[in-house]
Amino acid sequence: MSNSTSFENCAIVACGTLTTELNHLKDQGFLNAEKILYTTPGRHEVPRELETQLIKQIAAAKEFASNIIVVYGGKFCYINVDNPYRTIDTIIEEQVSPGVKISRIQATHCMDMLASEEERKEVSGGEDIYWLTPGWIKYSEYVYQGWDIGMANENFPKHTGGAIVLDGTGYYDKLMEEDPEKILELSDWMGIPMDVHRVSMDRFESLLRDAIPS
């Protein structure tokens, strides 16, 4: 997909699990944002911390650009059990200030940014799949912070189709060559097999384009 849109005067605030994909797009010349700022990976497990970091990074992003794109899913990345009506979009709206526009990428979570629900259904073949992105492997110590083997046994084996990594950057193949133990150890801890589904970056590029504030 050609880069007919510029991200000049845009700053990006993203979940740290997406560093692989965003750095790839930057290296490819697609993403020429003024600045990319990250929150700690896996903060969906700690909503209060996610909110604090998101507010802090949006404030920092305002120093670099007047248009800010938040790369977080809308449905699953932030769940406030104490106040279900407080969503990630509520937090984002509260950070808008004079002369600053903020928008969020329109996806439910990072897996949805890389492969649509329809594509995931096709790949799953009707099986119950535990979907991952490279960042969930790369930063597994953050994503599964506080998890013990009991929580792993409770959550992963119900995904009878195993785990599938949606990879558009070649991270999985490179890791299999250089450090396959990291994948095998995570798979063993989960108690389910892990495989890869290679995706195009076209969907992620399109969603980022659509998120440029107008």
Q: Which of 125, 65, 140 is nearest to 101 (CA)?
A: 65
* Residue 95 reports pLDDT greater than 80: yes
Q: Which residues does 77 contact at the CB level (< 8 Å), separation at least 6? A: 15, 44, 50, 88, 109, 110
Cβ atoms of 52 and 25 within 8 Å: the answer is: no
Band of residue 144 on the pLDDT scale cut at 50, 70, 90: very high
Clarify whether residues 85 and 97 are in a common domain.
yes
83 within some domain = yes
Number of domains in the chain: 2
Clarify whether residues 123 and 169 are in a common domain.
yes
Clarify whether residues 81 and 120 are in a common domain.
no
Clarify whether residues 101 and 121 are in a common domain.
no
Band of residue 45 on the pLDDT scale cut at 50, 70, 90: low
Band of residue 149 on the pLDDT scale cut at 50, 70, 90: very high
91 within some domain = yes
Clarify whether residues 43 and 53 are in a common domain.
yes
Cβ atoms of 20 and 171 within 8 Å: the answer is: yes
Instruction: Determine the structural domain holding residue 29 and report its residue range.
Output: 10-109+201-210
150 within some domain = yes
Tens digit of each residue's pLDDT (9 = 90 or more) over 179-190: 999 999 999 999
Clarify whether residues 160 and 85 are in a common domain.
no
53 within some domain = yes
Q: Is the pTM of this model over 0.85?
A: yes
Clarify whether residues 14 and 94 are in a common domain.
yes
Clarify whether residues 101 and 206 are in a common domain.
yes
5 within some domain = no
The encoded tokens of residue 149 equal 């083997």
Mean pLDDT of 78-100: 86
DSSP-derived secondary structure for 115-149: S-HHHHHHHHTT---EEE-HHHHHTHHHHTTT--H
